[in-house]
A and B are shown apart, each in its own frame.
Chain A
Amino acid sequence: MQPNREQQLWMYEHMLVSRYFEEAIEKIYLEGKTPAFNMANGPIPGEMHLSNGQEPCAVGVCAHLDAGDIATSTHRPHHVAIAKGVDLDRMAAEIFGKKTGLSGGRGGHMHIFDPAVNFSCSGIIAQGMGPAVGAALSRKMSNREGVAVAFLGEGAANQGAFHEALNLASVWKLPVVFVIEDNAWGISVPKADATAVPRNDVRAAGYGMPGVHVAGNDPFAIFAAAGEAIARARAGQGPTLIEIETSRLAGHFMGDAEGYRPKGEKEALFARDPIPRMRDRMIAEGNLTAEGDAEIAARAQARVDAAIAFARASDYPAAEEALERVFA
């Protein structure tokens, strides 16, 4: 299954929006935090986990999803949220803690909820998987269309919830796809030290579902694997586990000195940045021109700029609003 030109352009543009967004957030996050890095300071306080380099995982999968489908993500959610169609202005405002944010500032960057496109994320490892299974269950039981996708990191594959979610999805033959974004690092611990098998796709056999491995962080290959898995789910054939080899160009969290990464690893990763690789391929295959690329890049940048401007210009919530919305 290969993306047509329109789908390629969709993926490429969303990767750019995602990357430009992360670059903007990174700069703003550091405001007020130099030279003294105190996490509490600046317009974006708290933790920040950026998705630079992992964009292909989001667009290759979400190219097959519409607003009615469900996606759950992790503490590193921005690229998935963007590909899923989350309201970018309100997501930016939420990250800034403004009252116009998706949750009025209550959630922040790790707790982004947009019911309009059925997107949510959580800061607890592997905890998006159960809810994805449940959403799939809901659609099946109520005879409504829809597929659920749970995004997780490779570290989450060692968490109890992973095994329970896979087993349950398989036993009940649910329309859910589990997508592992393997960036090889769980904070400072490399995959080889934490996971008993070199590739998690082999674990799928233990849960009676197909397991697929996608190497090379390539949006085309991801598109193909995800397309097949999502089609299976829609056809009532049950869940699939996909593990994608991707790369984390940023640290685990902003401020992470990454002393644990071997020397030269990051430089090698930057040399394989998936965005220029996709651009070069599309141009070589005649699906993009240099002018077209400049247009898309400008549009993507403008969209990000508008979202950031909206966030900056919005007000903070009144402090007492902290006590509201606990119950519906």
Chain B
Amino acid sequence: MSEKVSTTNERRLTIARAMAEAIAQEMRVDERVFVMGEDIGGLGGVFGNTRGLIEEFGKERIRDTPISETGFIGAAVGAASDGMRPVVELMFVDFFGVCMDAIYNLMAKNTYFSGGNVKVPLVLMTSTGGGYSDAGQHSQCLYGTFAHLPGMKVVAPSNAYDAKGMMTAAIRDENPVVFMYHKGLQGMGWLGTEAGATVNVPEESYEVPFGKAAVVREGTDVTIVGLAMGVHNALKAADLLAKKGVSAEVVDLRTLVPLDRDTVFESVRKTGRLIVVDEDYHSFGVSGEIIASVCERDLSVLKAAPRRVAYPDVPIPFSRPMEQFCLPNPDKIVAAFDTIGGA
């Protein structure tokens, strides 16, 4: 990402601040944009992503809601269908259970059901990710769950530059976008710090297009594909591999729907080896999709079997040694390479 840093006017932001800045900039130019969710008003969002908004825009456009996800997400669908542009927060993605109908049966399908005549320009932002012992109902990623269901775009930034550009693009998109932000990358010190996510963010408005993965580190021996926190795990693994003389290429998927299969394929065609890092559950999800996409296109590009470093198919355990055992990490990625590193 070095090409984006301007050393004279460098201004780094956390993902939380980048999201808030994107929302504010859009709200200043488009009065149809408003924000709803729990604790997004005076508190600025539990994860800091609406910081400063209620002070600038007031309670009419920055609305704290009751604990009524089905109610306010359903309402967001209705408001979006009627010409508004809501940005709604589902505080933890794990809470989708209480409001999934509004999401996957209404938000995602109304455009299709109407033959394209009704638009639902809604942004559903939601926190994902674990590693800090918040247990099985507050630590999930669920990327696969949302990416699997047709009708909604699904995006997950790994850094603040992408976060701001993707939030701007999401608000301007005529379609529903599920904006999944990883709690460990937000820049909230109480969830740990991932310095690699806090990067230079231009002050002006800009978009990061969906469906375009980024090669964030070039290499020749193996392609490591990741999303959100997985990208940072992959970059650290690449450093470890470099010490062993292995050159790893890291691909940041950035968006799941639409998915940039071409960039992934071209990278694997170059390196011949594929490792997918996925903090979501192992089976029936993102890692399988990436691998299948490469294999079905041209199996001959692979010099070795593909590998995935993903969360095992178990509810997320509370106790720290058990949770850390389950999470992807750079060492697991290196170990995965060791099984396919041959000549």
Physical contact A–B (CB less than 8 Å)? yes
Does chain B have a CB within 8 A of A45? yes
Residues of A275-322 at the interface with B, using a CB-CB cut-off of 8 Å, are 316-322
- A95-114, CB < 8 A from B: 97-99, 101, 103-111
* Candidates B134, B192, B315, B319; contact of A317 at CB < 8 Å: B319
Residue pair A194, B66 in contact (C-beta under 8 Å) = yes
Q: How large is the interface on A (under 10, 10 to 19, 20 to 34, 35 or more residues)?
A: 35 or more
- Min CB gap A161→B, angstroms: 7
**Quick check: B138 and A98 within 8 Å, CB to CB?**
no
Are B191 and A38 closer than 8 Å at their CB atoms?
yes
Quick one: given A105-B322, A319-B322, A320-B325, are A97 and B190 in contact (CB under 8 Å)?
no
A36 near B189 with CB under 8 A, answer: yes
Rounded to whole angstroms, the CA-CA distance of A259 and B44 in the bound complex is 11
Residue of chain B at shortest CB distance from A318:
B321
**Are B95 and A124 in contact, with the CB atoms below 8 A?**
yes
**A38-B190, A186-B38 known; A322-B43 Cβ under 8 A:** no
Given contacts A36-B189, A97-B133, A110-B137, contact A159 B68 (CB under 8 A): yes
Smallest beta-carbon distance B278→chain A, Å: 17
Q: Would A319 and B324 count as touching, CB distance under 8 A?
A: yes
Report the nearest B residue to A33, measured CB to CB. B190
Whether B38 lies near A189 (C-beta < 8 A) is: yes
Contact for A322 among B66, B70, B94, B322, CB less than 8 A: B322
Among residues of A, the one whose C-beta sits closest to the C-beta of B74 is A160
State whether A193 touches B64 (Cβ < 8 A): yes
Are A108 and B39 touching (Cβ within 8 A)? no
Give residues of chain A (46-87) contacting chain B, Cβ–Cβ below 8 Å.
46-47
Contact (Cβ within 8 A) B137 A122: yes
Interface residues of A in 14-33 (CB under 8 A from B): none
Could you tell me the distance between the alpha carbons of A158 and B315 in the complex, rounded to whole angstroms?
28
**Residue from A46, A158, A321 in contact with B134 in the complex, judged by beta carbons closer than 8 Å:** A46
A39 interface residue per 8 A CB criterion: yes
B131 within 8 A of A: yes
**Does B190 contact A160, Cβ atoms closer than 8 Å?**
no
A189 — which chain B residues lie within 8 A by C-beta? 38-39, 41, 64, 66
Whether a CB of chain A sits under 8 angstroms from the CB of B206 is no
Closest to A196 in B: B66
B57-84 near A? 1/0 per residue, CB < 8 Å: 0000000111111110000000000000
Asked whether, in the complex, the Cβ of B66 is within 8 Å of the Cβ of A158, the reply is yes
The number of residue pairs between A and B whose CB atoms lie closer than 8 Å in the complex comes to 150
- A116 contacts the other chain (CB 8 A): no
Name A46's contact: one of B312, B318, B324 (CB within 8 Å). Answer: B318
In Å, the complex CA distance between A94 and B325 comes to 18
* B40 CB to nearest chain A CB (Å): 10
Interface string of A176-206 (1 = CB under 8 A from B): 0000000000111100011100000000000
Does B29 lie at the interface of the complex (its beta carbon under 8 Å from any beta carbon of A)?
Answer: no
Asked if A156 is at the interface of the complex by the 8 Å CB criterion, the answer is: yes
- A111-B38 in contact given A38-B190, A124-B95 (Cβ < 8 Å): no
* B113 shortest CB reach to chain A, Å: 23
Does B136 belong to the interface (CB within 8 Å)?
yes
B132 and A40 within 8 A (CB):
yes
A193 to B68, CA, bound (A): 13
Interface centre among B64, B67, B325 (most CB of A within 10 A): B67
Q: Mark B38-54, 1 if CB is under 8 A from A, else 0.
A: 11011100100000000
Q: Which residues of B are interface residues toward A (Cβ below 8 A)?
A: 38-39, 41-43, 46, 64-71, 94-95, 97-98, 131-138, 189-192, 312-315, 317-326
Nearest first, the 6 A-B pairs at minimum CB distance are: A108-B318, A105-B319, A97-B319, A46-B133, A319-B325, A45-B133
23 contacts between A and B (CB under 8 A): A36-B189, A37-B190, A39-B191, A46-B132, A46-B134, A97-B322, A98-B319, A106-B136, A106-B317, A109-B318, A123-B138, A125-B67, A155-B66, A158-B67, A158-B68, A159-B68, A186-B66, A186-B67, A187-B46, A189-B41, A260-B43, A319-B321, A322-B317
Starting from the known contacts A38-B191, A322-B326, 6 additional A-B residue pairs (CB-CB under 8 Å) come to: A110-B137, A158-B68, A188-B42, A188-B43, A189-B64, A319-B325
